[in-house]
Amino acid sequence: MSLDTSLSKPHERLAALLADDMAQVNALIRERMASKHAPRIPEVTAHLVEAGGKRLRPLLTLASARLCGYGGPYHTHLAATVEFIHTATLLHDDVVDESAKRRGRPTANLLWDNKSSVLVGDYLFARSFQLMTETGNLRVLRILSDAAATIAEGEVLQLTAAQDLSTTEAIYLQVVRGKTAALFSAATEVGGVIAGRPEEEVQALFDYGDALGIAFQIVDDLLDYWGGEATGKNVGDDFRERKLTLPLIKAFAAADDEERTFWKRVIEKGDQRDGDLQHALDLLNRHGALEATRQEALSWAAKARDAMGRLPSGEMRDLLIELSDYVVSRVN
């Protein structure tokens, strides 16, 4: 199932196919991130928006609307809404995580200050609600405001679950929905809703985005223990930050008394010494926690593929199915 690397990546082909729509979205983003009165706002936002993220979330909205044959003017508003919500959460995440880098550049909280990151994030949240209100579609408003609540709830949950070895897989899934999947599923679902598609298709679009987001995040968490040169990830960051991600939750569930003592020392007490990361990796392998996590990522990618199968066939559907394979290609 691994992709031929001579082909461009599916999200790049999606971006090429949706280039006209995406140009409109980018124009809308630039227009709405401006502020007549406070020049600090576009400075901070431009730093982040123009850092060249993949724009995956707005692409999902545009692809979903196109797949559903939407002919109206509001898919670009919804795509910009989704990107604004994403950018606002990044600004606030960097304050919460005390991050110094994002997408290879210094973070806004480092370049300006935490104050600017908090307030400009709030401004983008407000702008996103203005944008979605312009669509005049109340169901879309419900979906996106529910997603915003799930995102914030998941972030708080992640905060309180850190360093807590009693974190269950169910809590982990809730955190992952908040961090990633809630905005993915809202991004795809609203495309079907504004196109007025039947309920089964709207549900299939939600299921696709939800499963894609979960697969995406599980792969990210897995690579934190499994990475290497090819993945561009730095092994052991989550371990050092004592985050309870799926590999660790699975290994702790299978641990004997001695292993539990080890995990309590390094994760709960934060007493980490030379060789501990290697010992942790040995334990993850001994209990098959990495392989089980990998299987879970593959199974969510398969759910995404299946959900897409319930939608009208065509080029857009094929690309979205490819995308669900692509997100797990780094561990497949």
Q: Is 142 in the site for a second copy (CB under 8 A)?
A: yes
Please identify which residue in the block is written with the tokens 């997100």: 327
Q: Of 126, 270, 279, 309, which one interacts with a second copy (CB under 8 A)?
A: 126
Tokens, residue 122? 């709030």
Question: How many alpha carbons fall within 13 Å on the CB side of residue 251?
Answer: 28
CA–CA separation, 207 and 90 (whole Å): 24
CA–CA separation, 94 and 153 (whole Å): 17
Q: Is 73 in the site for a second copy (CB under 8 A)?
A: no
Q: Is 151 in the site for a second copy (CB under 8 A)?
A: yes
CA–CA separation, 257 and 32 (whole Å): 56
Contact segment (CB under 8 A) with a second copy among 56-64, 111-119, 194-202, 218-226 equals 111-119
Question: Burial of 236 by CB count in 10 Å (0-12 exposed, 13-18 middle, 19+ buried)?
Answer: middle
Minimum Å gap between C-beta 35 and a second copy is 5
Q: Is 138 in the site for a second copy (CB under 8 A)?
A: yes
Minimum Å gap between C-beta 116 and a second copy is 7
Question: How many alpha carbons fall within 13 Å on the CB side of residue 21?
Answer: 26
Written as one string, the DSSP assignment of 134-175 is HTT-HHHHHHHHHHHHHHHHHHHHHHHHTT-TT--HHHHHHH
The site for a second copy, by CB under 8 A, has a size of 44
Contact segment (CB under 8 A) with a second copy among 47-55, 110-118, 197-205, 296-304 equals 110-118
Please identify which residue in the block is written with the tokens 């550049």: 105
CA–CA separation, 141 and 298 (whole Å): 32
Cα Dmax for the chain: 62
Q: Is 82 in the site for a second copy (CB under 8 A)?
A: no
Minimum Å gap between C-beta 90 and a second copy is 12
Q: Is 164 in the site for a second copy (CB under 8 A)?
A: no
Site string for a second copy, 18-57 (x = CB under 8 A): -----------------x-xxxxx----------------
Q: Is 174 in the site for a second copy (CB under 8 A)?
A: yes
Nearer to a second copy, 39 or 196 (CB): 39
Beta bridge partners of 106: 101
Nearer to a second copy, 137 or 324 (CB): 137
Tokens, residue 249? 């939750």
Minimum Å gap between C-beta 89 and a second copy is 8
Q: Of 24, 53, 110, 155, which one interacts with a second copy (CB under 8 A)?
A: 155
Chain residues in the site for a second copy (CB under 8 A): 35, 37-41, 89, 92, 95-96, 114-116, 118-123, 125-127, 129-130, 133, 136, 138, 141-142, 145-146, 148-149, 151-157, 159-160, 171, 174
